[in-house]
Amino acid sequence: MDYRGKWALVTGASAGIGQEFVRQLAESGANVVMVARREDRLKELSALLQSHGTRTVPLAADLSEGDAPEKIVAFLQGQGIDIDILVNNAGFGLPGKYVSTRWEEQEKYLQLMVSTYAELSHRLLTGMQERGYGRVINVASVAGLVPPAAGHTLYGPSKSFLVSFSQALAAEYDGTDINVSALCPGFTYTEFHDVNDTREQLNQMPDFMMMQVGETVTGALKAVEKAHTVYVPGLQYKFLVWLTGILPRAWAERIVKGSGKNYRDAH
Ligand SMILES: NC(=O)c1ccc[n+]([C@@H]2O[C@H](COP(=O)([O-])OP(=O)(O)OC[C@H]3O[C@@H](n4cnc5c(N)ncnc54)[C@H](OP(=O)(O)O)[C@@H]3O)[C@@H](O)[C@H]2O)c1
């Protein structure tokens, strides 16, 4: 990939998959606007990537706030930055049953996991369309492709939305130089499982089910270049998605319901 002269915006850039996107995009020559709440982490990353000779711009924002996307776009306009590559990635899981978390918190969760993704795509695709070039990666999950398990209730549905949303956008931009992909990782080593309070369950996972951020992000960047709309990293997860797709729905639901107990907090 040669992204010299391009500008990327990565949300959730302070850790895990987002941080790796920033690293690989900068290595490929892109300038990167990095968004997350922990500004200290963004500044550290920016300092680490200085040797690439590209620009990295830390931008602190809480993407569960309704006005965050508008403010981000106003900031970009103020800086004269046109975004060519958007990586919508920020996210986490709310442990427990649906009603064990207050509605106000669930609403903010939907804002972060659904509305912010949709609004940033809308606002930034407008410019991409005018310039005739764009790449959008929405970080969904294998959870968006298989039936949901109990607990973390809105996680799977929000990821299913992102898969379907990416497919709809990809269809709209078919035949242009604007490519849209949903990245659907399985379990990947990041801080995600500490934030979600599922580290203990995850430690019981067989090693072959765990993916590394490097291979996940490299694969996603290749996939968006090839205009692959839905990208699932790892043969083990491709197989899982294929299997749950060909099984009768009730069987697939039963399998996920059973295995979900091992890695989700549903209390
Ligand atoms: N790791 C996995 O097993 C896995 C599997 C499938 C899909 N995914 C998806 O991959 C994406 C990245 O997760 P990860 O594994 O890299 O987790 P992570 O290491 O915990 O990173 C999550 C990122 O999201 C940011 N974030 C969370 N809430 C935010 C908010 N309100 N406003 C702004 N930024 C926020 C965090 O930054 P701050 O805390 O600094 O704000 C952090 O940079 C998520 O969408 C997740 O659903 C992960």
Nearest CA to ligand 1 atom 8: 141
> Which of 14, 17, 158 is the pocket-test mutation for ligand 1 (most atoms within 8 Å of CB)?
17
* Helix, strand, coil % in the chain, rounded to nearest 5: 50, 15, 35
The C-alpha atoms of residue 128 and residue 135 are separated, in whole angstroms, by 8
Q: Given the CA of residue 62, which atom of ligand 1 is nearest to it?
A: 32
* Residue 105: its H or E element: helix 103-110
Taking CA atoms, 217 is separated from 21, 23, 211, 225, in Å, by 6, 10, 11, 12
Q: Which domains does the chain have, with CATH numbers?
A: 7-260 (3.40.50.720)
Q: What distance in angstroms lies between residue 13's CA and the mean position of ligand 1's atoms?
A: 8
Q: What is the mean pLDDT of the chain?
A: 94
Mean pLDDT of 124-152: 96
Q: What distance in angstroms lies between residue 194's CA and the mean position of ligand 1's atoms?
A: 11
Q: What distance in angstroms lies between residue 139's CA and the mean position of ligand 1's atoms?
A: 9
Sign for the pseudo-dihedral over CA of 184, 190, 96, 98: negative
Residue 129 has pLDDT above 90, yes or no: yes
Q: What distance in angstroms lies between residue 175's CA and the mean position of ligand 1's atoms?
A: 32
**Maximum alpha-carbon separation in the chain:** 53
* Residue 48: its H or E element: helix 39-48
> What pLDDT, on a 0 to 100 scale, did the predictor assign at position 250?
92
> Which of 190, 191, 237 is the pocket-test mutation for ligand 1 (most atoms within 8 Å of CB)?
190
pLDDT digits (tens, 9 = 90+) for 12-38: 999 999 999 999 999 999 999 999 999
> What pLDDT, on a 0 to 100 scale, did the predictor assign at position 203?
78
Mean pLDDT of 184-206: 83
> What pLDDT, on a 0 to 100 scale, did the predictor assign at position 264?
65
The count of other CB atoms within 10 Å of the CB of residue 62 is: 14
Residue 265 has pLDDT above 70, yes or no: no
Q: Residue 266: which pLDDT band, with cuts at 50, 70 and 90?
A: low
Q: What distance in angstroms lies between residue 155's CA and the mean position of ligand 1's atoms?
A: 12
SS3 category, 147: coil
Whether the CB-CB separation of 184 and 162 falls below 8 Å is answered with no
Q: What distance in angstroms lies between residue 187's CA and the mean position of ligand 1's atoms?
A: 13
Site residues for ligand 1, CB cut-off 6 Å: 12-18, 36-38, 41, 62-64, 89-92, 112, 139, 141, 185, 187-188, 190-192, 195
Residue 53: phi and psi, rounded to 5, are 75, 15
